Amino acid sequence: MTMRDHLLAFDQGTTSSRALLLDPDGGIVAVAQAEFRQIFPQPGWVEHDPNEIWATQSGVAAEVVNRANLPLNRIAAIGITNQRETTIVWDRRTGRPVYNAIVWQDRRTAGLCDRLKADGLEKTVQERTGLVIDAYFSGTKMAWILDHVDGAREKAERGELAFGTVDSWLIWRLTGGAVHVTDETNASRTLLFNIHTREWDEEMLRHLRVPRSMLPDVKSSSEVYGEATGTLSGIPIAGIAGDQQSALFGQMCHEPGTVKNTYGTGCFMLMNTGKDAVPSRNKLLTTIGWRHGGETHYALEGSIFVAGAVVQWLRDGLKIIRSSSEVEALASSVPDTGDVYLVPAFVGLGAPHWDQYARGSIVGMTRGTTDAHIARAALEGIAFQTVDVLRAMENDSGISLKELRVDGGASNNNLLMQFQADLLGIPVIRPANVETTGLGSAFLAGLAVGVYKNLDQVRQLWKADRVFEPSMSADRREALHARWRKALDHARSWVEPDAA
């Protein structure tokens, strides 16, 4: 009898689709990645082609299986992790999207968010969903599609349209349209899900005028949802978690008070708060971390919209580097930023500021400023934003953090990680395998199908690669942060609400 002991992780991100094939020890057997188009129809609008998302994700999945030369009957399950909040609406009969995917970074619904705030809904939204009213989340994006795509609202009212975050879209396609589900982590990012009753919230559906028939069934993060068809035919789909919750699980932050930060396109810090949904007084988000074994774990989250994306901008916009990997060497060629600060508020500011009218700024430049100073300021801007979130998280939770676990592509940047430790004044720990986003969904799938017996067995698979110890004085740390706060003030409320 062939042992089904390998796991296939779909890691569908904002700029690329990745697939990882893992052995039972969590080791990567094969990995493949494919970038896809970023579509910018207007300033502040960001879209993806849902069919490109599917084509690249299914393509890299087939590629890793072929590279590993592994028979399909060795793969025990598929785990899916995904860019969150990105909104797709499609026709149930044809499977065709009615509009491009509206990406989490998109700001077109800022005006609708202002109207919801003017209607006095902020308290209701926080109490029920754990979120703040912001264009970041899926609900207002769905409302925009229904109001702006010809015939969409009428079709939705007739039950002909389906909504999904990217996980739901992938599972729909994987199962040939047989399964329309999401998990609690993704549902908790829509503005439509009550995180306490763990059901779609009728009041929020009414406020956003979203028909209940569009929504997927909400499942746990670790169970068998269905079987794949096509090239992966017969493999159970058994784990789902939004990318940041998946990374929290993959970093083994399974105990209350443990924290991870993912440095991807955006930057996302999550603290496990256990079975308690801790309300935030500092504009953080209360979200679902995962549901497994009949228990829901909650988390506090601080979302930074632009992190690694600022390095892509240095490459593609300013063209001062040819590849993202060059930024560390360029930034390291100067000892500091020369008092230059770069606030990467290209699509507004996320936690804990939540200013959807902020825009990016570079301040403190002189004739002596070089591309190296700007590159270093870009990296330091990522770290400063993380400090703002961590301080808010400590205030909300009453817990002083002892360490920060890090992952994501930019966590491989040693200059950034050392500066992060210096600014925080606590050790920053990078794991031996920084693919924790993909790992989390794979481990959740593995638990569902018996590759792993329990969480203790999973925890033993995590190992540290490097610990960055802080070496900056407290006075220096505070002086730098004071200058950062001054730079932030220049970026705030830059766009007039009517122009956003």
Written in H, E and C, the secondary structure of the chain is: CCCCCEEEEEEECCCEEEEEEECCCCCEEEEEEEECCCECCCCCCCEECHHHHHHHHHHHHHHHHHHHCCCHHHEEEEEEEECCCCEEEEECCCCCECCCEECCCCCCCHHHHHHHHHCCCHHHHHHHHCCCCCCCCHHHHHHHHHHHCCCHHHHHHCCCEEEECHHHHHHHHHCCCCCCEEEHHHHCCCCCEECCCCEECHHHHHHHCCCHHHCCEEECCEEEEEECCHHHCCCEEEEEEEHHHHHHHHCCCCCCCCEEEEECCCEEEEEEEECCCCCCCCCCEEEEEEEECCEEEEEEEEEECCCHHHHHHHHHCCCCCCCHHHHHHHHHCCCCCCCCEEECCECEECCCCCECCCCCEEECCCCCCCHHHHHHHHHHHHHHHHHHHHHHHHHHHCCCCCCEEEECHHHHCHHHHHHHHHHHCCCEEEECCCCHHHHHHHHHHHHHHCCCCCHHHHHCCCCEEEEECCCCCHHHHHHHHHHHHHHHHHHCCCCCHHHC
Residue 23 is labelled as binding a ligand:
no
The rounded distance, in Å, linking the Cα atoms of 288 and 295 is 11
What is the per-residue pLDDT for 464? 87
What is the per-residue pLDDT for 388? 92
What is the per-residue pLDDT for 365? 96
Residue 413 is labelled as binding a ligand:
yes
What is the per-residue pLDDT for 1? 41
The rounded distance, in Å, linking the Cα atoms of 328 and 65 is 33
Which residues face 194 on adjacent strands?
A: 199
Residue 67 is labelled as binding a ligand:
no
Sign of CA dihedral 142, 146, 152, 153: positive
Residue 308 is labelled as binding a ligand:
yes
What is the per-residue pLDDT for 396? 87
Report the 10 Å Cβ neighbour count for 291.
Answer: 21
The rounded distance, in Å, linking the Cα atoms of 446 and 454 is 10
- Please report, to the nearest 10 degrees, the dihedral formed by the alpha carbons of residues 272, 413, 386, 305 taken in order: -90
Residue 84 is labelled as binding a ligand:
yes
Residue 106 is labelled as binding a ligand:
no
Residue 357 is labelled as binding a ligand:
no
What is the per-residue pLDDT for 7? 95
Residue 244 is labelled as binding a ligand:
yes
Q: Which of 427, 311, 431, 317 minimizes the C-alpha distance to 375?
A: 311
Residue 317 is labelled as binding a ligand:
no
Residue 265 is labelled as binding a ligand:
yes
Which residues face 22 on adjacent strands?
A: 7, 28
Cα end-to-end span (Å), the chain: 60
Q: Which of 430, 420, 415 minimizes the C-alpha distance to 326?
A: 415
What is the per-residue pLDDT for 181? 97
**160 — phi, psi (to 5°)?**
-95, -10
Q: What is the pTM of this model?
A: 0.85
Q: Which of 377, 367, 386 minimizes the C-alpha distance to 310?
A: 377
What is the per-residue pLDDT for 84? 93
What is the per-residue pLDDT for 494? 84
Residue 409 is labelled as binding a ligand:
yes
- What does pLDDT average to in each consecutive run of 10 residues of the chain (500 residues)? 82 93 91 94 93 96 91 92 96 96 93 93 93 92 96 95 97 96 96 96 94 96 95 94 94 90 88 89 90 92 88 92 90 95 90 86 95 96 93 87 89 95 95 88 95 90 92 94 93 73
Provide the token pair at 470: 């802080």
Residue 16 is labelled as binding a ligand:
yes
